[in-house]
Chain A
Amino acid sequence: LERSLYRECPACGSLNDADRVYCRRCLTHLTNPSEQDLTQWQAMRDQAAARAVEQPKLQDATSPVEPLPAAEATATPTHGKEREPDQPLAVATSLPQVVEEALAELRHLLPMEASVALPHRAVMAPLLPPDETARADAARAAAALFQRVATEPAATAEPLAGRAAAPRQAHRGERRIWLYLAVLLAALLPVLTRRWSAVTGQPQGEGGQIAAEIATLGPQDAVLVVFDYAPSYAGELDPLANALLRALAQRAVRTVALSTQPAGVGLAQRAYQALAPLAPDYTYGDDYVILGLLPGQEAGLHALTQGLDSAFQADYVAQRPLREWPALYGLPRVDVFHHVVVLSDDEASVRRWVEQVQTRSGVPLDAWVTARIEPLLIPYERAGQIRTVLTGASGAAELLSVGQDSASGGRVVGLTIYWGVLCLTAIVGNAAAWRDGRQRRQAESHRTEE
């Protein structure tokens, strides 16, 4: 060991790895041993070996069997060695030569533990019988056992369920494709049957009441329109915004637009651009103004309640002071607006408007939002803090239905079909899950009986 694997420190005598340059204990430089050192170490080793021979061999107190001779136990590998049938299982208890020498100096200090002195694994006799026929039979039996272990499920419910679920994967994929097709059909139907659905899909609801209220407004009134939604939800909220601006422009009601999101400013510009061909007399500055981005969230809204001048220095489009625009005459604060319409895809944004603007100024607030956040705003509507909550797809249709818009009915028909698909999916999905669960329970009970 000393010569092949370790290098002994010349100062403290501790063993170091062969590739170490300095001693791990005393940091002495591990030089190559001189001839004198080698002679001295050889003498020391011989003395240690002689002392070890004089001392009695360590016997394993727990093992009742006879130990093998030390030379046989250490020199001859016993793995694969055939054992006579009547030969008892033997464990080598004597120390191998190398271990004996290395631990010789410690013999008088510590009792030798069996776990150190013995080989780590007991020497087992081979299992195979000596003759070839029996060996082949045993090999076949072992192979059959291995195949059984590898292929058969364990006696638990989980592999059984997994095996039963495997054929269902294909059905699940087919079901998903049918679901995709049904949703696609529901989305396509109003496009393909536009005229028919315009006749059949005339909705009635809150949107109609709002439209009726807008019909009572005039040029002396002003409405603050807040574009607080991202372009991701433009597909749902743009129809609402377009319907609102169209209805207000028809009555020549002044509108002021702003946003607390940067993208909302662009959406406001786009909505007014879409309105231009429908209401050419509705002009920027005289009838409407885009104030732009209102930064600062709560602080910005708080500034808005103090006055429009506090929050905005100029309009967004022409960068001119607010007092120069006729559309803003007589509109110094938020509370003088007829009402505020918040178009939003974010519940937190609407809540900020309620908490910072409606509560402080008392101006009526309408939340026209995505269907995603509608349930979160119902409590505010019930408490009277929000006057109306209108959702994108159906809300626009309801609002536009007053103006006999042909596209609105189509969207409602598509939405109705989609609701049907959703309900059908829910019923079929639950029924399938119930059936699968029942089959699984039956299979488990059969297996338990077996």
Chain B
Amino acid sequence: MMPEPLTTSLQALSSNGAHVVGTWVAALLTLAVLSYILGYNGFFRLAEHLFVGIAAGYAAAVAWNSVLWPRLLKLWQAPAAYWHYGLFFALGVLLLARGVRRLSVLANLPLAVLVGAGAGLALGGALLGSLLPQTRASIVSVSPAHYGGGLAGWGYAVSALLLVLGTVAVLAMFTYQRGGEGRLARIGDGLVRLLSGAGRKVVMIAFGALFAGAAVSFFALLQSRISFLVNDWLGFLSRVR
């Protein structure tokens, strides 16, 4: 329970006052994080620790309020209807035995349930949701007529061709076996080597796209923070207006 003087103080704090305090705290923490540009310092470390600690505490509170407590309440009020929650709670309690060396074997049962159910659902989902649809999506027509002809049709056809070639090339990049002896095998090896080189370039392009995306993402975050500092904290823009 929160101490009464603190509760009274918080209640006395008006919404506007809370907003001002929150803005100042957020601004100072933002500056502390941005101070990393000068090197790893105490302010940055403080902000880092606060972020991790508050995130963990908030996650625990949300899990209790949103997941555990409502179900416990139901189990308490109507145990006959919600008896299965008791079973799950027992499994959850058994998971805590992992921390005690002599009792840690008891945690194997809930772990088995977790891993088994998770792996089954993930495997089925990956097969039906990723592998098959993606394989099907990579089988495309490279005929311009299929896309209506004309310049646009040719554009789509070239795009589809690049898709197919890129997919095959990247798959060839992960081929580490040689075809064997003989002229045909040498031709095959040469083709795989050629595709493998092209696949490496495709992967590099993909990494470049990911890097560019990350750069844009981080710039958007910087833009957001600077906008917050200038508009909300300093009120700079309102004075300019």
Find chain A residues with CB under 8 A from B212 CB.
422
Report the separation of the CA atoms of residues A384 and B133 in the bound assembly, to the nearest whole angstrom.
9
Max chain A C-beta neighbours (<10 A), residue from B59, B126, B222, B224: B224
Question: A232-248 interface mask toward B, CB cutoff 8 Å, 1 = contact, 0 = none?
Answer: 11111011000000000
Question: A154-190 interface mask toward B, CB cutoff 8 Å, 1 = contact, 0 = none?
Answer: 0000000000000000000000000010011011101
Q: Could you say which of B128, B216, B230 contacts A415, with CB atoms under 8 Å apart?
A: B216
Find chain B residues with CB under 8 A from A313 CB.
70-71, 74
Q: Could you say which of A188, A236, A297 contacts B221, with CB atoms under 8 Å apart?
A: A236
- Nearest CB in chain B to that of A298: its residue: B121
A375 engages B210 (CB within 8 Å)? yes
Known A-B contacts A235-B225, A382-B137; the reply to A393 vs B216 at CB < 8 A is yes
Q: What is the size, in residues, of chain B's interface with A at 8 Å between Cβ atoms?
A: 50
The answer to whether the Cβ of B108 comes within 8 Å of any Cβ in the partner chain is: no
**Nearest Cβ on chain B to A437's Cβ, whole angstroms:** 19
Q: Could you say which of B55, B71, B133 contacts A383, with CB atoms under 8 Å apart?
A: B133
A262 engages B62 (CB within 8 Å)? yes
Report the separation of the CA atoms of residues A233 and B118 in the bound assembly, to the nearest whole angstrom.
27
Known A-B contacts A314-B70, A355-B125, A393-B223; the reply to A370 vs B217 at CB < 8 A is yes
Report the separation of the CA atoms of residues A319 and B209 in the bound assembly, to the nearest whole angstrom.
44
Question: B26-57 interface mask toward A, CB cutoff 8 Å, 1 = contact, 0 = none?
Answer: 00000000000100000000000000000100
Find chain A residues with CB under 8 A from B136 CB.
383
CB neighbors of B among A246-286 (8 A)? 262-263, 265-266
Find chain A residues with CB under 8 A from B128 CB.
355, 359
The answer to whether the Cβ of B237 comes within 8 Å of any Cβ in the partner chain is: yes
B contact face: mostly helix, strand, loop, or mixed? helix
Q: Could you say which of B66, B118, B209, B223 contacts A187, with CB atoms under 8 Å apart?
A: B223
Find chain A residues with CB under 8 A from B67 CB.
292-293, 295
B58 engages A319 (CB within 8 Å)? no
- Nearest CB in chain A to that of B71: its residue: A313
The answer to whether the Cβ of A387 comes within 8 Å of any Cβ in the partner chain is: no
Max chain B C-beta neighbours (<10 A), residue from A234, A298, A352: A298
The answer to whether the Cβ of B103 comes within 8 Å of any Cβ in the partner chain is: no
- Nearest CB in chain B to that of A259: its residue: B62
**Nearest Cβ on chain B to A257's Cβ, whole angstroms:** 12
**Nearest Cβ on chain A to B105's Cβ, whole angstroms:** 24
The answer to whether the Cβ of B134 comes within 8 Å of any Cβ in the partner chain is: yes
Find chain B residues with CB under 8 A from A359 CB.
125, 128-129, 133
Known A-B contacts A359-B128, A393-B216; the reply to A383 vs B226 at CB < 8 A is no
Known A-B contacts A183-B219, A262-B62; the reply to A191 vs B227 at CB < 8 A is yes
Q: Could you say which of B118, B219, B231 contacts A298, with CB atoms under 8 Å apart?
A: B118
Find chain B residues with CB under 8 A from A391 CB.
213, 216
The answer to whether the Cβ of B20 comes within 8 Å of any Cβ in the partner chain is: no
Question: A92-105 interface mask toward B, CB cutoff 8 Å, 1 = contact, 0 = none?
Answer: 00000000000000
CB neighbors of A among B89-141 (8 A)? 117-118, 121-122, 125-126, 128-130, 133-134, 136-137
Find chain B residues with CB under 8 A from A352 CB.
125
B70 engages A372 (CB within 8 Å)? no
Q: Could you say which of A262, A393, A422 contacts B220, with CB atoms under 8 Å apart?
A: A393
Query: Which 9 pairs of residues, A with B, have the shortest CB-CB distance?
Result: A235-B224, A355-B129, A355-B125, A383-B137, A262-B59, A393-B220, A292-B66, A298-B121, A372-B217
On A, residues with C-beta under 8 Å from B are 180, 183-184, 186-188, 190-192, 194, 230-236, 238-239, 262-263, 265-266, 292-293, 295, 297-299, 302, 313-314, 316, 319, 351-352, 354-356, 358-359, 370-376, 379-380, 382-385, 391-393, 411, 414-415, 418-419, 422
19 more A-B contacts (CB under 8 A) besides A297-B118, A355-B128? A180-B37, A183-B222, A191-B230, A191-B231, A191-B236, A236-B217, A236-B224, A262-B63, A265-B66, A266-B58, A293-B62, A295-B63, A298-B118, A298-B125, A354-B129, A355-B129, A359-B128, A372-B216, A376-B210
27 A-B contact pairs sorted by A residue (CB < 8 Å) = A188-B226, A190-B223, A191-B226, A191-B231, A191-B237, A232-B221, A263-B58, A263-B59, A265-B62, A265-B66, A293-B62, A298-B121, A299-B121, A313-B70, A314-B70, A351-B129, A355-B126, A358-B129, A359-B128, A370-B217, A370-B220, A383-B133, A391-B213, A393-B220, A393-B223, A414-B223, A418-B216
